[in-house]
Chains A and B, each alone.
Chain A
Amino acid sequence: MNWSDQLLESLRSNDVDLTIYVPDEVLTPLIRGAEDDPNMEAFPASREEEAIGIAAGAALGGRRSVVLMQSSGYGNSVNALASLAVPYQLPILMIIGERGVLGEFNPVQVPISRSIRPSLDAMGIPHRTLEREDEVAAVADRMMLQCFRTQLPAVLFINALLTGGKNDR
């Protein structure tokens, strides 16, 4: 199974039936897969912090969701994580398509990409980076389990080595 189908399978087996996304080209197969799944409700939010807010409300209401975004959009979500998800102990599962790393062509993608992991570490939010297809299912499944059982946010990075990244050539 390719990486996006493995992630969709992990989402299903962890009872996630709501996908809130801010579009990202490398995550397109995952977004499309979520939208095509009749058991998954999937829609875009206008901004990443809004997506975190919707996911927080869903969690409060007892529904499991996932937030999809591009690494550049992480910067738009920090206050929602720092003043809502973390202090209220809400299981916000985030899947972030990575830009600004191996093979990046656009300089504006790089600084935020370098700041994400130190920022997550400072807030105590666990994260793993998926680079190989043979690790996706096991890591994703455990990360989702941890997120929902510990009631804390968690992040999966989808690296360019896994997706091929975005190509400008």
Chain B
Amino acid sequence: MASPRDDLAIMSRKDLTARVVGKLKNDEAVVAGIGNTNFDLLDAGHRPQNFYMLGSMGLAAPIALGVALAQPGRNVFGLEGDGSILMNLGTLTTIAAQAPSNLTIIIWDNGLYQITGKQETATSSVTDIVAVAAGCGIPNSAWATDENHFESLVETAINTHGPHFIAARVDDASATARPERNPVLWKDRFMVGIGSKPVQS
């Protein structure tokens, strides 16, 4: 069966990450998954409301869900690669069941476990991750057909009730930025950035 994915433009993950950040105007929280996903987020310019996941592959969406439940007045974005979301598909059912209106999951789908040596994932051949999300019960699930469509999906996610699920076919360019490997530093900056911890003088 042909997937709609087959006809989609392959876009630059780095460019799309910068486009997400460019749309954020209200201190939205962004949780970025392991590897190139969080490297590119840093490359787009550090924001205090960014959380960089240095390990725990597959947990960007659950962490984003937790932040969304803790701060229902703030929009929360979870960014994950295709290999990462495949590791924890069950979380899409939890997100669908809890349906937090302030949560958006964005999947960068290059069909590869890129950082481990570019082994192919199931999305490169048979699995349509948007169909998976819709089947799990997230009705606002969509493929981005090109850069302009991607930006309009992000705007819709910011301005309407979610949860939202956006997937984009992306390239496998290696990200150049690297967050400092200091978990507590990023935790503290994120918590201060989203107001869950006071600034220490």
* A88, CB-defined interface residue at 8 Å: yes
A56 in contact with B66 (CB, 8 Å): yes
Q: Which residues of chain B have C-beta atoms less than 8 A from A45's C-beta?
A: 62, 90-91, 94
A60 interface hit (Cβ, 8 Å):
yes
**Segment among A79-87, A114-122, A134-142, A153-161 that sits at the interface with chain B:** A79-87
Cβ–Cβ contact B63 & A53, under 8 A: yes
A-B contact count (CB 8 A): 123
- Cβ–Cβ < 8 Å partners of A44 in chain B: 94
Count contacts on B: residues with CB < 8 A to the other chain: 38
Contact A58–B70 (Cβ < 8 Å) = yes
Say whether B97 faces chain A, with CB atoms less than 8 Å apart: yes
**Nearest A residue to B89, CB-CB:** A46
- Tell yes or no: A63 within 8 A of B by CB: yes
Interface residues of A in 6-54 (CB under 8 A from B): 18, 41, 43-47, 49-54
Chain B interface residues toward A at CB < 8 A: 29, 31, 51, 53-59, 61-71, 88, 90-91, 93-94, 97-98, 183-184, 186-187, 190-191, 194-197
Interface size on A, residues (CB 8 A): 32
**Chain B interface, >50% SS class:** helix
Which residues of A are found within 8 Å of B90, using beta-carbon distances?
Answer: 45-47, 50
Residues on A with beta carbons closer than 8 Å to the beta carbon of B31? 57
Ordered by A's residue number, 13 sampled pairs between the chains whose C-beta atoms are within 8 Å are A49-B88, A53-B91, A57-B31, A57-B68, A60-B196, A62-B196, A63-B71, A79-B57, A82-B55, A83-B54, A83-B55, A88-B184, A89-B183
Asked whether, in the complex, the Cβ of A53 is within 8 Å of the Cβ of B69, the reply is: no
Contact A49 B59 (CB under 8 A): yes
Asked whether, in the complex, the Cβ of A50 is within 8 Å of the Cβ of B69, the reply is: no
A87 touches B97 (CB 8 A): no
Complex interface residues of chain A between 72 and 119 (CB less than 8 A to chain B): 79-80, 82-84, 87-90
Question: How distant is the Cα of A49 from the Cα of B88 in the complex, in angstroms?
Answer: 9
Pick the most buried of A45, A57, A58, A88: most chain B CB atoms within 10 A of its CB: A57
